[in-house]
Structure 1
Amino acid sequence: MKGERLRRMIDLHAWLGMVSGLALFVAFFAGAINVFHHELHHWQEAYHGEPAAAPMGMDRLLEQVTDQYPDARKRLYLLPDAEDPGVMWFESAEDDWVTAHAKDFNTEGVREEVPRSALADFINELHFALGIPNPGWPINIGMTFMGLISVMYGVALFSGLLIHWPKIRKEFFALKHEGNMRRYWKNLHNVIGIISFPFHLIMSVTGAAMGMFTVVAVLLGALVFGPQLRGVISEETDVWPAVDSQGDTVTMPLMDDVLSAARHELPELTVDWLEIRGYGDAAGWIDVAGSVPGYLGHHAHVVLDPTLGPLRVIAPGQRSVNFASLSPVYSLHFGDYGGLLVKLLYFALGLLGSLLFVSGNILWCERRSDRTGPSRSSAFLLRLTLGVCAGVVIGIAFSFLASKLLPHTPLAGLVAVAERGLFALILVVLVAWSLRASPLRFSSQMLRIAPFCYLAIPLLHTGLEGGHAWLEADNRLVNLLLLAVAACLWVVRRQFRKRIRQAEPHPLWVGKVSADHPKHLTDTELENEAAVTD
């Protein structure tokens, strides 16, 4: 590659990486945890000991919910847990989804006011929309923004591949500091990028496809196809048309019979949830959704009418072109196609991806300061990167702590608010602090605190709920993952301290920087700053 073209590729890679780096750090760190979204839903539920009486079954739960909340009849989801089935429905008065479990009802059938954590949903929102609330517009602002970020991310990956391809073998074995911290981070950044390039390519393509789908559909509808496109999209993406009620009622079948009928149509189906449209309406239908193991696009649906007559089967080998293309996209993005081993691989690659974006932003700031001198803008971008990354990591840890602690206090009703509020507060405080503190001192203190935050979560869980924190499979898995995060942060801290002891830090890392010239530091000043890491 010619020198001028190579320089352009390096600049393109650096600018796109810097613009998208902070958003991608949030998405990857939250996404690594969100790989175990289903397990986290179980982990977040407070445990107060065994219930005095056995909870009601699926059929009684559906009757209770639909009698007490008539709006739930229009559309509800049933989670067929054998011990504690749950129902989720949209409550128009609250303008939100409401979840009830069988153990939320007492012997008289009245729902108890049980505080519910929303931690799993919050982590999911951080991953796909940076936690940006959706004001109810046709386009989800946060998700669309992440779709645009994914597009830039893909271009940065392509340009990075062109830059490093001629020397990929040499850089793969170049993880050493060679006299300064910048060289170490550069080599680490390159090695992580080379190892995980296929994973990042999958994330960029699938993230862009999901994030930009609504935008592309709206633009095509407005500029090319007209309003009829919306009907075509609904027809192709919905498992069955919306209920056209004629006012005729019907007795709903038993849910065990529904599951048996679905497995009769698709014997290998593993059921995850049931969607019921028009509960008690003769024109309604039931979608039994789940997976067929052994396929990349493993998602499957069996749609039944209230008399258990089959309406449609969507499964590997029985899909339209649309479903056949969408199912692998979701599977590849969420890593739910290969069991626990693939999920653990996605978890590890997600954490490595977070480190990739931090190191990329640091390299950009240092490289820019080497060209123009350590200016205020370079110092600001470095400090902002450190503040956002520390705020996200520690903020998520405090959301976990609030999720476990508050249900056992008089503030139990504020658990969902506290999970989001604590995250936002810590993020704002740490970003503000990072913009004023020495980057070296700030990083040292945050890396000292962060591992203990994640270590404290399983300890708190064990202290509050005893053996249930480890005897229940999903709880045990999530707690082990949190300990793994703590261990990874501890390793990063040790490497950070090692580099500071062995190599003089870049001027940007120490003290304040003037607008045009670096701050010249004495040996004593450098030793004082570096001593913080010890």
Structure 2
Amino acid sequence: MKVRSDILRIYQSLHTWTGICAGILLFIGFFGGALTMFKHPLERWVSAPSAPVAALAPQQIDTVVREVLAAHPAAREEFTLHLVRHENNPAPVTWSAAHAGRDIDLNAMRWQGTLDAQGKLAAQEVRPSLFGELVDMLHRTGGVPGTLGDEYLGVYLMGVAGVLYFLALVSGVVLLLPTLVKDFFALRKGKNRKRFWLDAHNVIGIASLPFHIVISLTVIVFAFHDQFYDSLQQVVYGERKMWSRPAGTPGPGDVSKLAPASKLVRRAQQEAPGFEVTEMLFMDLESPRPLVRVGVANDDYVVRGAVSGYLLMDPYSAQVLNTSMLPPKSDAWSSIAASFFALHFGSYGGNWMRWVYFAFGLSGAFLFYSGNLLWVEKRRKNQLRDQAPPVQPRRTALLAAATVGICLGSVAGVAGALLAAKWLHASAGNLNAALMTAYYVVFLSCVAWAFWRGAARAAPQLLALCAAAGFAIPVTSLIARLLPSLGMWAHGSVGAVAVDLTAFVLALVLAWAARLAARRARSGPADSVWAAPAAEAPALAGAQERQA
């Protein structure tokens, strides 16, 4: 297919500048998004072990709910009954004394309730790990702090990046059309490293194009959903309410008259055959409109939540109020909305699809990283024969340093926060605040190091740091098993062990990348931004030989 050269130049400029403007922020978003695919296993890895809680019979579940509501009035506002429990959620009933807002509260405490050996209520207040929420916030905001109105500033910036991202995708496809058939699977190696990076960039971009289109559009919708809803309210609904809670039986204000939890579970199973009831969120039990949101899971369906679909019930009469978020019974509009959520979050197909999204997320991060590297190389001033290497434009050196520092800094920061969850568990007064601090200290240090040392020197060093942090994750679990006196722990569940194994594999890849970056700095073209200063090249060569 032939495309006019002037049109190709326009699309090349559009692709380049939209990619550059959004690339670094989107790298963090994609890396964080890949990790959110396994947010729950990560939370289980960082959660300290608690006293084992035996599974409760249906009658005991009814008892613990009744006693929690009688002894702790704050639970009547909202509490969760967990029917599927893991290391990060060992108790059957949890609730908070404070109202949960949209922002992450690093000081938040949560109560856990169960029955002791004598059948009496045993409740304690704990500070749950928010590591999964911190990673999710990184995914949604790119790590940009601050708020604008009721929303994080980074969410809006990520929405703008999503618009630029979509333009970059469209323009990139137009650029590849003339040579798509011939060069699609080409991955040419040789002295021209720019050609290799461009081939890798193109192959990953085209192979994962449907995924990237879905992500770009859903990012825009999620970032500006309040504005979209406000517009719909004014244009379509007018004086009518867009959202309203379904009206059930008015709450009598006496929580002792709640339907038994076991009855609600049975009613949910009747309404959603083939689904597993995972949790029940009870809300506003003493208000005129009490409600219980039942989470149900089935990997064969596209669902609204990260792992569950939902149905709404009256907690007093056990009447089903709404099934629009239950896949087999949802209406057309709810199915469309669920598809947006599911396609963005990968909440369908079970664990194998989460691994697919994890791989797509990491490959997307590579797409933005390699795009910036290509921009830097394309604007390189070439060395003339028998002349000294030219001084590269300042803008290319700064973008190279920003790409290395911010992208690799976010990777090292997440690993540092994960390690801090265990190493600082005994000494940190507020572990969640320590995790946040650990991320930004490591991240900002990496950014400062990249700008101070320059991209060529910083790239292999920061890649080596990321690799070392990755190896330290399974090593920490091994130390916890061998030296329990240190006060750390190592869970033996499949999810927790998978975190260690995945970190080890990624560390191997990063170590390999560090070796390649060191080789490029030592023996690559002297006129490149990625070439180390001449005085340092022998030292890098010696370091590489020692590594070999």
TM category (shorter chain) comes to 0.7 to 0.9
Per-residue deviation, 1:3:
1.0
2:77 corresponds to: 74
- SS of residue paired to 1:435: helix
Name the residue aligned to 1:504.
525
Question: Residue 469 of structure 1: SS of its match in structure 2?
Answer: coil
Task: Tell me the residue number matched to 2:347.
Answer: 336
Pairing 1:87–2:94 present: yes
Q: Contact (CA 8 Å) 1:72, 1:91: kept in 2 or not?
A: no
Shift of 1:416: 0.5
1:34 aligns with 2:3: no
Deviates more, 1:141-150 or 1:414-423: 141-150
| CA displacement at 1:151 relative to structure 2 | 1.9
Is residue 253–residue 285 contact of structure 2 (8 Å, CA) maintained in 1?
Answer: no
Counterpart of 1:322 in structure 2 is 333
Q: What corresponds to 1:14 in structure 2?
A: 16
Query: Deviations along 1:181-235, whole A, 9 cap, x unmatched?
Result: 333322221222122222212211222222222222234556x468747x21x23
How far apart are the structure 2 equivalents of 1:109 and 1:267?
32
User: Residue 126 of structure 2: SS of its match in structure 1?
Assistant: coil
**Is 442-451 or 73-82 further displaced after alignment?**
73-82
Shift in Å, 1:109: 4.6
State the Cα distance separating 1:54 from its structure 2 match: 4.8
CA contact (8 A) 1:87 1:100 kept: yes
Alignment of 1:287-298 (within 5 A): 287-297=293-303
In structure 2, the CA distance between the partners of 1:21 and 1:215, relative to structure 1 (3 Å rule), is same
Give structure 1 stretches of 5+ with no counterpart: 512-520
SS of 2:278's partner is strand
Q: Give SS of 1:91's match.
A: coil
- Cα deviation per residue 1:132-187 (whole Å; 9 max; x = unaligned)? 45759344433232222212111111110111122123333432343243333222
Separation in 2 of the partners of 1:384 and 1:103? Answer: 50
Deviations 1:495-529 (A, max 9, x none): 43455566425522246xxxxxxxxx76x665556
8 A contact 1:168–1:194 mirrored in 2: no
1:353 aligns with 2:364: yes
Could you say which residue in structure 1 is the equivalent of 2:208? Answer: 196
Q: Which secondary structure does the structure 1 equivalent of 2:292 belong to?
A: strand
Indicate how the Cα distance of structure 1 residues 277 and 116 shifts in structure 2: closer, same or farther if over 3 A, else same.
Answer: closer
> Partners of 2:494 and 2:471 in 1: how far apart?
19
Contact 2:27/2:364, CA 8 A, preserved across alignment? yes
The 1:433/1:286 distance shift into structure 2, 3 A limit, reads same
Check conservation: 1:58, 1:255, Cα contact below 8 A. yes
Alpha-carbon distance in 2 for matches of 1:13, 1:120: 33
Q: Determine the structure 1 residue equivalent to 2:461.
A: 445
Contact in 2 for aligned 1:13/1:160 (Cα 8 Å): yes
**Contact 1:55–1:105 (CA under 8 A) maintained in structure 2:** no
1:480 is matched with 501
CA distance in 2, matches of 1:257, 1:205: 41
1:32 CA drift (Å) = 1.1
Cα offset, 1:491, TM superposition: 3.2
In the alignment, residue 388 of structure 1 is paired with which amino acid? I
| 1:374 shift after superposition | 2.4
8 A Cα contact 1:450 1:486, kept in partner: yes
- Summarize the Cα distance change of 1:483–1:526 in structure 2 as closer, same or farther, 3 Å threshold: closer
Once the two structures are overlaid, the 10-residue window that deviates more, 370-379 or 98-107, is 98-107
| Aligned pairs (5 A) from 1:101-250 | 101-102=112-113, 109=121, 111-132=123-144, 135=147, 137-221=149-233, 224=235, 228=239, 231-232=241-242, 234-235=243-244, 240=246, 247=253, 249-250=255-256
Counterpart-to-counterpart distance in 2, 1:150 and 1:274: 34
Give the TM-score, by structure 1 length: 0.85
1:131/1:380 Cα in 2 relative to 1: closer, same or farther (>3 Å)? closer
Deviation at 1:63, TM superposition (A): 4.6
Q: Distance in 2 between matches of 1:256 and 1:151?
A: 47
Deviation at 1:78, TM superposition (A): 2.8
Q: Report the CA distance between 1:251 and its aligned residue.
A: 2.0
Task: Provide the secondary structure at the position in 1 that maps to 2:430.
Answer: helix
CA–CA distance in 2 between the matches of 1:246 and 1:330?
A: 36
Quote the offset at 1:11 in angstroms.
Answer: 0.8
**Alpha-carbon displacement from aligned partner over 1:14-41 (angstroms, at most 9, x marks no partner):** 1111111111111111111110122223
Match of 1:266 in 2: 272
Secondary structure, aligned partner of 2:160:
helix
Determine the C-alpha separation between the residues in 2 that align with 1:249 and 1:297. Answer: 31
What are the equivalent positions in structure 2 for 1:422-441 lying under 5 Å apart? 422-441=438-457
Do residues 251 (structure 1) and 257 (structure 2) align? Answer: yes
Percent sequence identity is 27
Contact 2:159-2:224 at 8 Å conserved across structures: yes
Distance in 1 (CA, whole Å) between partners of 2:98 and 2:171 is 47
Counterpart residue identity of residue 87, structure 1? T
Whole-angstrom distance in 2 between the partners of 1:416 and 1:243: 40
The answer to which of 85-94 and 156-165 deviates more is: 85-94
Instruction: State the shift of 1:474 in Å.
Output: 1.7
How many residues of Structure 1 are paired with residues of Structure 2 in the alignment?
514
Report the Cα distance in structure 2 between the residues aligned to 1:415 and 1:102, rounded to whole angstroms: 22
Distance 1:2 1:149 in 2: 28
Does residue 377 in structure 1 map to residue 395 in structure 2?
yes
Long gaps (5+) in structure 2:
383-389
2:412 to 358, 377, 394: 394
TM-fit CA distance, 1:283: 4.3
1:373/1:295 CA distance change after superposition, 3 Å: farther
Q: 1:465 to 1:85 in 2, by over 3 A?
A: farther
Asked if 1 retains the 8 angstrom alpha-carbon contact of 2:26 and 2:368, the reply is yes
* Residue identity in the other structure for 1:4: D
- From the superposition, tell whether residues 70 and 188 of structure 1 become closer, same or farther in structure 2 (CA, over 3 Å): same
Gap change, CA 1:366 and 1:530, over 3 Å in 2: farther
1 CA distance for matches of 2:298 and 2:148?
A: 34
Amino acid at match of 1:175: L
The corresponding residue for 1:518 is none
Alpha-carbon deviation of 1:247?
4.3
Instruction: Give the CA RMSD over aligned residues.
Output: 3.3
CA 526–479 in structure 1, closer or farther in 2 if over 3 Å, else same: closer
Query: In structure 1, what is the Cα distance between the partners aligned to 2:82 and 2:178?
Result: 52
Give the 3 Å change call, closer, same or farther, for CA 391–67 of structure 1 in structure 2.
Answer: farther
3-state SS of paired residue (1:31): helix
Deviation at 1:254, TM superposition (A): 2.8
Residue 61 (structure 1) shift: 4.8
2:490 to 462, 466, 469: 469
Correspondence for 2:311:
302
